[in-house]
Amino acid sequence: MPPIPQEIKHDVDQIVEAILYLYTESRRLTKGMAARYGLTGPQLTVVKMLESLGDMSLSELSDRIHAQNSTVTGIIDRMEREGLVARARSAKDRRMVIIQLTDKGRLLARDVPLRPAEILRAALGRLDAVEARELLRILTKLAHEVRSIVIQSPPSEGS
């Protein structure tokens, strides 16, 4: 990776700190909220995602939460044992398995606020329209650059 130009190094360091703060604070809040309801953070994320977006395939869910299918399969297995989700064959393609909330899962989803997302939305809502569009442009560009770097030099197995 090319070195960071000295004139922006301090700014880059502060941006990284801000991103890490947002990430860790979100995980802390999600973990705390999930624990109150007897869930893990990833399980809470799945419950809220299925609540807001509806039924989806395992691969769609994996893409949405940015996790490998094998990881999501384990999460869904445990949630299915708890009666929160069910697997069903797709009516359009019988090979595809759809994950859906059960009645118990829907009730839980209604009761659990997704506080990190609400807090972030509230903070973003304080930006004016120009700031919000500029932030979206910059974050989209940043995500593209990170993807490009990861594709060029994927992390090793141990990381």
Write the DSSP string, 138-151.
HHHHHHHHHHHHHH
CA distance 32 to 42: 12
In the chain, the number of structural domains is: 1
CA distance 63 to 59: 6
Does any domain span residue 99?
yes
Does any domain span residue 12?
no
CATH code of 55's domain: 1.10.10.10
Does any domain span residue 118?
no
| pLDDT the model gives residue 100 | 96
Does any domain span residue 23?
no
**Residue 131 to residues 10, 26, 68, 118, 128, Cα–Cα distance (Å):** 22, 22, 34, 19, 5
| pLDDT the model gives residue 158 | 52
| pLDDT the model gives residue 157 | 54
CA distance 159 to 156: 6
Strands of 85-89's sheet, edge to edge? 56-57, 97-101, 85-89
What SS3 state is found at 66? coil
pLDDT < 50: residue spans in the chain: none
Does any domain span residue 61?
yes
Quote the domain boundaries for residue 62.
Answer: 43-111
Does any domain span residue 125?
no
CA distance 101 to 103: 7
Does any domain span residue 79?
yes
CA distance 142 to 49: 24
Does any domain span residue 76?
yes
